[in-house]
Structure 1
Amino acid sequence: MLRVLEFRNIYLLPILAIALFYVVPAFLGIIIGENSYAFELFFLSISSVFIYFFSYKVFCGHWFTALYNSVLKIRIGLDFFSWFILAIYFLVIFYACLTAPDIALFAAIKGVSLTEISGLREEFLRTREGWERGLLYIYAICVSSLVPLVIAQMFVAKSKWRFYVLFAFLFSLALTLEKGRALVAMLPLIVIFVNLGNRKKAYMIAFFLVVLIAIVSLVARGGLASSENEGDANPLSGVPDEYNLFAGETSQFYYIVNRVWYIPYATAIDWLRYRVVKLNDESTVGKSISAVAWLTGEERVSLEQDVFTFQWGQNETGTGTANTVYYVDAFLTFGYFGVFLYSLLLAFCVRVCVCSRNKALIACLAISVYYVCFNSLSAVLFSGGLGFIFLLALFFRISDAK
């Protein structure tokens, strides 16, 4: 199983994730006749995997490697900016903690209700206005690429600071009680140890990651709620039957399985349903991408928020979003051409990063290629870190941090 995390196989990670989270559920949906959109999701999934895989194989040719090597590279040492990145990140965290109404983690420990925890998570940075909106962008870039890259490079170079920085980062990620956040810190380390041939450490880190996600999920879902909030503590209470594989079950285990495996599929189906019901089976022609909307002078269509409203109704802070796999977003944005273009572009970016042969950078690439299975490609490129990793791979050579 860990072979997919070897550097030469890292490009297969999104294919594996797509098969697990979309192809298999969609196929089962077709078999049982669950709804009319299962076949469409199955077709889009298979098409995207096919285009991505064969595009990557084309980019594996000697012509591409020679073209990559012909690009002038600037040699930099990670020490040059690693501590600067960490300082910026933790200053943003410190400022957010000081100015937020409360911290979700600490509030959950006090036993507040699930509704309050959810609101505090949004108010940590997502509801900021004016110049503070820039803090959310800095936070997103740091979390998804910059800080994981610094930590991964520290582990590659066996820096004496690596564990201190790792645990500080994990604690900062837990503050908002976002259940899968620890993945960005631990997945690159799993990749590194797999490629160093130390499978034992890779499995240990994977086990620790699962335990950490389970603990955060327990706390985030009201596992520490006081007795007067017990109804809120039921992890599957309030989940409509159409988004719940385990109606009548109340355990955290069923919640995690439902949330991790079924909800991505159900959300992708809702995106396709939204296209038919709200967009009259037409694409947005790029208006859902901020840069395209700005260049064309059109008002941006916020698909993530609109689909969330379509599913659930918007939350109190107005920041609820429903993300989906990159090729479904591409289909709503540019139609079938978008599926082809996005799959080709993803293969190109992944190949460039692999060509860099930088261990830490490729290890962090695993985060991005996993994230595109649950987010739009434009979001992962511009605010999810893939664009930054791509530019580093194309124009820079990174030396070890101490």
Structure 2
Amino acid sequence: MRGFGPTVFAEMTALAQRTGAVNLGQGFPDTDGPASLLADAAEAIRTGHNQYPPGAGVPALLEAVARHQRRCYGLELDPASQVLVTAGATEGVAAAVLALAGPGDEVVVLEPAYDSYAAVVALSGARQRSAALRPAADGSGRFALDGAALRAAFSPRTRVVLLNSPHNPTGTVLTVEELQLVADLALEHDAVVVTDEVYEHLVFDGARHVPIATLPGMAERTLTISSAGKTFSVTGWKIGWVTGPAELVSAARTVKQFLTYSGGAPFQPAVARALDLGDDFHRELAADLQRRRDLLREGLSAAGFATGTPEGTYFVVADPRPLGFEDGTELCRALPQLAGVVGVPVSAFCTPDGPAAAAARPLVRFTFCKSDAVLHEACERLRALRPR
């Protein structure tokens, strides 16, 4: 783990706490999830669900995840053998990569990428091969898959493709055509796809999240990962799940049992019930987040940043070069003093000298999963950056 220190999220959150800045860095909501979910967890605590749950997860949650995948995507799963509960999606990704890749193997990653990906690839002993998501040529601000770069990242040693859509930090929702290219290359190279879909329900403007497991030939070679944290605004609960073919889920389970073994005993039955809330809940949350996305984008634009329009997730990527700032990391460290706001540099999601590093260098990620009052305050403060 040489080269890996404290995460940028920890650094920026500590900076916000130390300075009193508005924290638009780390992506956690400042409101709790649905009242029924919280009540169910409290009831589970009161009624004795406080000891080790089964290592694979409580049956009610395994069954609820299987129902969710069937209802939303038409994927048929056996709850007993094709679903695994994990300590959040991060553990799910770690268990999958550690189970499937090792020394001599290669893992293809789209960059910018959530920072735990590089760390878990390093822990596995495999080598990371990166392909960039690049700002589209149409000037929309959307980050698009570079097909030629993706193809070049594959080799005879490719064992795993680590995918993320809807994508953190760029907010891109990969199109069916982009996903099909990933699928074609995975099939060609006999690779397993590990796909992080924690923002699956947080998509905007009519965008559609398509799980890669639904594409022809991919169900048998895909581990799909999601969690309650983003779906139900309870990021501190750390209840995630992995789904896929029984033999791949079994491999992840073998590793997971030596990571946390189990956890979240009273939260698991509560999440199980919440997964049956239905599509209206997801639509309402996505619509509210879209409204807050627009509020933050307008505020960033008024402050002088250039921004695209994210298709999903919690985040807007902002370009501060119109304001005269060329380095996002330097700006983020100075921003609490300059404007009383904290963001996260997009370069923190890239390997140094990797294919996305140069384009990411000036960019800053801000989160909009905050209350209107917090977003208004942040936008007002950011106006201090405008030359007078």
- Scaled by the length of structure 2, the TM-score of the pair is 0.29
Higher strand share: 2
| Bigger relative contact order, structure 1 or 2 (CA pairs below 8 A, ≥6 apart) | 1
Q: Which has the higher helix share?
A: 1
